[in-house]
Structure 1
Amino acid sequence: MLAFGLRLAVAGGREALTRLIVIAAAVAVGAGLLLATFAGVNAVNAQLTRYASLYPEPSSGGSDAAPLWWTVREDYFHGRQILRADVAATGADSPIPIGIPKTPGPGEYYASPAMQRLLAATEPDQLGARYPGRDLGTIGDAALTAPNSLLIIVGGTPDQVGKLPRAQQLTSTGDNTPAIPATVIDLIMSVIVAGLLFPVLIFIGTATRLSAARREQRFAAMRLVGATPRQISMIAAIEAAAAALAGTALGFLLFFAFRGSLAAVPFTGDPFFPGDMSLSALNILAVALGVPAGAAVAAAVSLNRVRVSPLGVTRRVTPRPPRWYRLLPLPLGLAELAFFLVGPMPETSDGQMAVFLPGILLVMTGLLVAGPVLTMAGARFMARRSTRPATLIAARRLADNPKAGFRAISGIMLALFITSVATGVITTIVANRGTAPAGSTDAATLSTYLNDGPPSVAGLRPTPGVRSTTILRKNPVEYGDPVVACADIPPAYGRCAAGTTVAAVSSNFIPWRQSADAARIWPAAPVSADALPQLPVESVVVLTDGSAAAIERARTILELAYSAYFVAPNVPGDFESEFANTLRGWQQLADVVIIASLAIAGCSLAVSVIGGLTERKRPFSLLRLSGASIRVLRRVVALESAAPMLTVAVIAVGMGLLSAQLFLKAQMGYTLEPPGPEFYAVIVAGLTACLAVIALTLPLLERITGPETARSE
């Protein structure tokens, strides 16, 4: 049976060979993307595991080795985060930090390759002066989260490091534990599988059904001469599995060929090391066995009509129209997301994911389930409004079998929905938690919080680009805003109320998530001008001209003056910049998803159109013999594909942005920020490419609808 199935797979000449090549190509794309998905999740896990190892848990004893003092602080340079690890060995057998050959002593440091390049390319008074001492060498990849990580390991004495914030003693280093919880992995996999792999599965299924009518007739004939349904299913499975095995092998080759290029793309805000894009044995087995098995199952399912009876393929009847209840999942999903606008919100992250993820998936499923109903409604509307034969024929065919009409464009709907949700959420979060706008007073303001001791700010005033230096002191009222003398408030930050000598101001003069305002009036503080100098210092605020050089010089002076800082001197938005950069990396991933998904959906659409043309050669030939021009027939084919595709595109984008708004409002209290023009440009470009794919299939219509095709068979 195996040899017979393989022989039948190529017995149809060029048509059979073309079908096998298309199926193999579809499987290769699917297998390659599935491997890239598994490797990407493994890479993210490895990246975050190394990041977590920089913040180890305190040692619980059990080792006789002298401990290592260790603490990590965040620094910034031009909006980029620098991680500074201060270390000090307490004995000759103290553990050595991972990635370096020995623990640096006082006045010594190791730096990552990217950090060394940055130090060499920057004026010392802007960066290098923060880390005085001797460069001992490069930190190895084992301690870096990414090839472009800015990490520096600075040595000190046990007394110095022990007094730093968050200092702890370690008896071992490099104890890495998985950094991604299982729930987060499930979320990542769900989004990627839904947004990227589902169109691939549609492509595989569509390619498997290529020339389905001809194959059904062949298998039905075999049934008439005595073949059993089980034998027919086995032959179909062998035919599909042969192409799937070749496609899977090609998918592995594609993955390893492009693995280095994929690792260099900053999907999470930082690139990966190529070695992090690894595959586990379970990943390899899942793809090597699962993809061919899935293709075989799809082939067997596609021949369901042959199993009904040997003559089942000749008794073609109009399928039952989709029922109205297919519309129910969509409003149910939206209702679940909207419920948490007024209902209680789970307190834990896992609980929140457990309610929001099913809501998003239910909306997505609702779109897929409701797709045939929407296609049928649109076709009937088009039929009522049609004034041309091509429009009427296309509308009647879509209304006759809306499931088949929607199947070809379902991948496009799914890709647009997932991308609209991701883009809406990411764009809004970045807008609300991003860096300060360039040129604003916020972007020119540098501040640092002090835990104890007076600051040394004498070196700041003569620094080029520094316009003012203001010392804020702690309010004697518990949880009160810091206080400052009205005479020390720069005009750019506002002014005091009339008759006030000491005012209570927001930290950094900038209220949370607002901007500095010269017209702001600060209220009086319950502190006299005489008592103000006796209050402890809370922070120092430096107003610069906004230039990067002035900000970094001032930051360097503050760090040297207050070397035991807990929070590095920062510009409003520095803390958020890393988060925003990560989100922008995920936005890049969303763009990749939509481009890849639309490309795959376009291929699926092309295969579906070609398959439909092949199955309807004789009806189209009869139409040509009865007087219909080839132009009319091309319009029919184009309308059958383009009309539902454009309709579902509008619906998918609208539902995606609505779902994003419901999620943002319930989870974060944000209002959706409309995506920028580039989002719509990507969508228009993708849909245009899909229309171009449809146009490329139209010349085939004239070649396969000649008079010889209209003969009775």
Structure 2
Amino acid sequence: MRSAVVGQWYRDLAMGARFTFTGGREGWVRAVLTAFGVGLGVALLLLTAALPSVLSGRDAREAARQDRGIGYLQNNAESKPTDRSLLIADTDTEYRYQEIRGRLVEPEGADAPLPPGVAEFPAPGEMVVSPALAELLGSDDGRLLRERLPYRTVGTIGQDGLIGSGDLTYYAGAEGLAERLDGSVVARIDRFGSSTDQPEQEVDPVLLLLTLVVFVVLLTPVAVFIATAVRFGGERRDRRLAALRLVGSDSRMTRRIAAGEALAGSVLGLLFGTGFFLLGREVAASVEVFGVSVFPSDLNPSPSLALLVALAVPAAAVLVTLVALRGVVIEPLGVVRTARPARRRLWWRLLLPLGGLALLYPMLGQGSENGEFNEYLVTGGVVLLLCGITALLPWIVEAFVARLGAGALSWQLAVRRLQLSSGSAARMVNGIAVAVAGAIALQMLFAGVEGRFTESTGKDTSRARLELVLPQDGSIGAVGEKLRRAKGVAATAALSTTQVSATAKDPERWLGVTVGDCAALRELARIPSCRDGDVFVVPDPADPATASLATAGRTVYFDPSYSGEEPRAETAWKLPAGTRKATGRADSLRPGTSGLLLTRGALPAKSGSDLSSTVYVRTDPAVPDALDEVRNAAVAIDPLIRTWEWESTQQAEQFTDIRTGLLVGATAVLVLIGASLLVSQLEQLRERRKLLSALVAFGTRRRTLGLSVLWQTAIPITLGLALALAVGLTLGAVLVRMTSADVAVDWASVLSMTGIGAGVVVLVTALSMPPLVRMMRPEGLRTE
């Protein structure tokens, strides 16, 4: 008995599958449209399944090329060269807001370690570069960068030495680095790669919440689109099932046949999706989104996740089809749905968003201090709230269009069509409404917690844009003068710092010393009058000892020595009688400056060996690429000058990474939204091709039909976006309160996201106009 039931199920499912591929041209078109829509969603799901592989590959290559903090050699400036030692200098730079990783290398022995991805060391004056950097240097946009990297390219860095296909990296040959070895900028190493496992950092629960919500919000529209795609051609399918009832099949058999059609379409969609994914995998190397690039070999979906996608998509297709048929009575003489449908009920549709709120409610006010969030409750709550849109929107569309009255002919055609098939119209905009609601909620969540992960740097970018740190053997006077004459420079402030002690041996009290010309010192303190040779003291309220140590006539010592060390030549210096007090500026270029301020003429001749020198540059906004012009000038002076761009605020790296991942994922989902909406629009037009042709044959103007199609799109999308706005604001407010942050709505961002959703629909509608014109020809009345 059981085998007979299984056999009957198999035969019915197989019959449905045959209908998918043997229904003539109409059947194939319907199958291809369904497979295309499902395939787009499957491709994005496979991309998501490949994320663990992408992240692990990037992290492994980043760790393999590490040359900082990997052993004792680089930490000892007095280390000796060996057959396995390599001198390496950090020359990272930035070009038009793109980070470039640079290293100068000088092997000291035959067995010096090669950097990952490099076949042989470049000679002095030569360099090996990443493919992306080679492309940039060869383009017109790379003119300024070519001036900064005056090396001859002799090779390419392989994939093992790059974190992504768009990575900008170079290794240049150098000589004489041993004389500048400091264990910081210039290091001596004997291998590449992390030497020890880094301790796992504890992740802030709010960051985990952000990551979880990002994944849920980005993947939920994908699931909605797949569910919509498997229902393409639903009206024709129901009429075909009615014909089967006429020849003797019962209602259960027809549902199994419909399930077989959905199963076959979803399997075909899996094949399409795999093809889309493999195609996208091959072109991934040439694509960079928000500074993130990957290698095709990294895009390997996790086998378990790929299997889950392969099983979940067909199962969901069958489930959606069976649920959709529950509201349709298929009889031998037709489909009851062609009559006026029963009004949709509201009560059960409200259970989804209310259930979502109920799951999220226990975590309100939890924040970072009260433990981690329950990932299952978060996922379930967000999914229920977003899926509540798909349940509420059909009811809202039906209730709204039922009350619409008379108007222009195009309006009447659109309204009547919506009154007869409001469910199809709602399904078309379900995905975009879910995506917009999720985007609004995420924007509110990011805005609400941004202050937690953003801190002020205390730097005034109107005072300086670049900070150039000189090597210890650099001449601050010469460098400052050359930079002052560089293109794009409006003003410079060259400052050096060191310390003096109260005693020559084993000192216990210290005093900070800042050296610069009068103009540079005025960037730190309020000095009434100044000339070369003057000395000033800025008291430190938090350290009363400063006043007693910085007294005119007091002897202090530069470069004191300690017991057990080799003897040093301490430099004694007596503070001149003309030492004057100065007041630190509230907007000092270096906040917290105190101690002695010396003009260069007052600095003892033998005390300059231990100075740390920095040049602050204020750029000219009228000069294009002023920042890069200054960087070029600095490299021309000394390649080891480190350049830092000032920012008024800085964000936690993990928070920035999550936001970047959101932007990349949102871009992929937006492409899916547009493509899926276009397929859905074309499918609906194809379903109404004969009707459109008949209306044209009876004299209806094409302009009227075109406007009716626009109204049929505009009304549901307006209702969908209004619902998305309400659900998005509600979900966003709940998520923000879960982090114990204050709820605030940035209406400009919220409305811009809503506008982006509407813009996608407008673009899709515009792209569907040419097919609409072709479908309105009288030839559309032909049939087989």
| Whole-angstrom CA distance in 2 between matches of 1:162 and 1:527 | 27
Q: Cα distance 1:598–1:77, how it changes in 2: closer, same or farther (>3 A)? A: closer
Give per-residue Cα distances to partners, 1:105-156, cap 9 Å, x unaligned. 9988644344456678657996237xxx887743222111233422234678
| Pair 1:30 & 2:41 matched | yes
Residue from 19, 26, 38 that aligns with 2:30: 19
Paired position in structure 1 for 2:584: 503
Paired position in structure 1 for 2:345: 322
Give per-residue Cα distances to partners, 1:584-615, cap 9 Å, x unaligned. 7964653453243033124324535665899x
3-state DSSP of counterpart to 2:479: coil
Asked if the contact 2:476/2:613 (under 8 Å) is kept, the reply is no
For structure 2, list consecutive stretches of 5 or more residues without a partner in the other structure: 1-10, 73-82, 501-508, 530-580
Paired position in structure 2 for 1:274: 296
3-state DSSP of counterpart to 2:232: helix
Give per-residue Cα distances to partners, 1:203-242, cap 9 Å, x unaligned. 32321634243134235446xx46583x444433333333
| Pair 1:687 & 2:713 matched | no
Paired position in structure 2 for 1:593: 669
3-state DSSP of counterpart to 1:147: coil
| Whole-angstrom CA distance in 1 between matches of 2:527 and 2:381 | 50
Asked if the contact 1:26/1:207 (under 8 Å) is kept, the reply is no
| Pair 1:51 & 2:62 matched | yes
Paired position in structure 1 for 2:437: 417
The structural deviation recorded for 1:278 is 3.9
Paired position in structure 1 for 2:98: 80
Paired position in structure 2 for 1:543: 618
Asked if the contact 1:41/1:185 (under 8 Å) is kept, the reply is no
| Pair 1:211 & 2:236 matched | yes
The structural deviation recorded for 1:489 is 5.1
| Whole-angstrom CA distance in 1 between matches of 2:117 and 2:255 | 57
Paired position in structure 1 for 2:724: 652
| Whole-angstrom CA distance in 2 between matches of 1:488 and 1:77 | 30
Q: Cα distance 1:153–1:246, how it changes in 2: closer, same or farther (>3 A)? A: same
Moved more, 255-264 or 548-557: 548-557
Give per-residue Cα distances to partners, 1:676-711, cap 9 Å, x unaligned. 9996775444222444578766997998999x9xxx
Asked if the contact 1:5/1:236 (under 8 Å) is kept, the reply is yes
TM-score under structure 2 length normalisation: 0.64
Residue type at the aligned position of 2:344: P
Give per-residue Cα distances to partners, 1:560-582, cap 9 Å, x unaligned. 888877x6433447988999899
Paired position in structure 1 for 2:167: 149
CA-based RMSD of the aligned residues comes to: 6.3
| Pair 1:249 & 2:268 matched | no
Residue from 148, 158, 167 that aligns with 1:127: 148
Q: Cα distance 1:123–1:457, how it changes in 2: closer, same or farther (>3 A)? A: farther
| Whole-angstrom CA distance in 1 between matches of 2:625 and 2:340 | 76
The structural deviation recorded for 1:201 is 0.7
Matches within 5 A, 1:305-344: 318-319=341-342, 321-324=344-347, 326-327=349-350, 343-344=365-366
| Whole-angstrom CA distance in 2 between matches of 1:502 and 1:103 | 53
Residue type at the aligned position of 1:151: T
Moved more, 11-20 or 659-668: 659-668
| Whole-angstrom CA distance in 1 between matches of 2:764 and 2:355 | 31
TM-score under structure 1 length normalisation: 0.69
| Pair 1:193 & 2:265 matched | no
The structural deviation recorded for 1:346 is 1.5
Give 1 or 2 for the bigger CA radius of gyration: 2
| Whole-angstrom CA distance in 2 between matches of 1:5 and 1:58 | 64
| Whole-angstrom CA distance in 2 between matches of 1:378 and 1:631 | 25
| Whole-angstrom CA distance in 2 between matches of 1:350 and 1:158 | 50
Paired position in structure 1 for 2:184: 164
Q: Cα distance 1:116–1:218, how it changes in 2: closer, same or farther (>3 A)? A: closer
Paired position in structure 1 for 2:390: 368
Paired position in structure 1 for 2:679: 603
| Whole-angstrom CA distance in 2 between matches of 1:221 and 1:673 | 57
Paired position in structure 2 for 1:521: none
Q: Cα distance 1:343–1:68, how it changes in 2: closer, same or farther (>3 A)? A: farther
Q: Cα distance 1:107–1:262, how it changes in 2: closer, same or farther (>3 A)? A: closer
Paired position in structure 2 for 1:515: none
Asked if the contact 2:87/2:178 (under 8 Å) is kept, the reply is yes
Asked if the contact 2:492/2:615 (under 8 Å) is kept, the reply is no
3-state DSSP of counterpart to 1:471: strand
| Whole-angstrom CA distance in 2 between matches of 1:674 and 1:350 | 32
The structural deviation recorded for 1:166 is 10
Matches within 5 A, 1:394-433: 405-420=425-440
3-state DSSP of counterpart to 1:543: strand
Residue type at the aligned position of 1:652: A
3-state DSSP of counterpart to 2:230: helix
The structural deviation recorded for 1:648 is 1.3
Task: Name the count of aligned residue pairs.
Answer: 668
3-state DSSP of counterpart to 2:261: helix
Give per-residue Cα distances to partners, 1:441-488, cap 9 Å, x unaligned. 649632145797886242331443343324275899x9x999898942
Matches within 5 A, 1:611-622: none
Asked if the contact 1:259/1:274 (under 8 Å) is kept, the reply is yes
The structural deviation recorded for 1:98 is 1.3
| Whole-angstrom CA distance in 2 between matches of 1:339 and 1:276 | 39
- Structure whose residues are more often helix by fraction: 1
3-state DSSP of counterpart to 1:149: coil
Q: Cα distance 1:19–1:210, how it changes in 2: closer, same or farther (>3 A)? A: farther
Q: Cα distance 1:76–1:442, how it changes in 2: closer, same or farther (>3 A)? A: farther
Moved more, 366-375 or 304-313: 304-313
| Whole-angstrom CA distance in 1 between matches of 2:323 and 2:634 | 70
| Whole-angstrom CA distance in 2 between matches of 1:41 and 1:76 | 29
Asked if the contact 1:411/1:597 (under 8 Å) is kept, the reply is yes
Asked if the contact 1:25/1:247 (under 8 Å) is kept, the reply is yes
Give per-residue Cα distances to partners, 1:330-360, cap 9 Å, x unaligned. 58878999999x9352269975989987775
Q: Cα distance 1:36–1:107, how it changes in 2: closer, same or farther (>3 A)? A: same
3-state DSSP of counterpart to 2:584: strand
Asked if the contact 1:661/1:672 (under 8 Å) is kept, the reply is no
| Pair 1:265 & 2:339 matched | no
Residue type at the aligned position of 2:243: R
Give per-residue Cα distances to partners, 1:67-110, cap 9 Å, x unaligned. 87878674323432122346677876565431123567998864
Moved more, 169-178 or 270-279: 169-178
Q: Identical aligned pairs, as a percentage?
A: 20
Asked if the contact 1:50/1:176 (under 8 Å) is kept, the reply is no
For structure 1, list consecutive stretches of 5 or more residues without a partner in the other structure: 512-523, 709-713
| Whole-angstrom CA distance in 1 between matches of 2:376 and 2:260 | 40
Asked if the contact 1:58/1:170 (under 8 Å) is kept, the reply is no
| Whole-angstrom CA distance in 1 between matches of 2:498 and 2:281 | 54
| Whole-angstrom CA distance in 1 between matches of 2:145 and 2:336 | 83
| Whole-angstrom CA distance in 2 between matches of 1:448 and 1:352 | 47
Paired position in structure 1 for 2:535: none
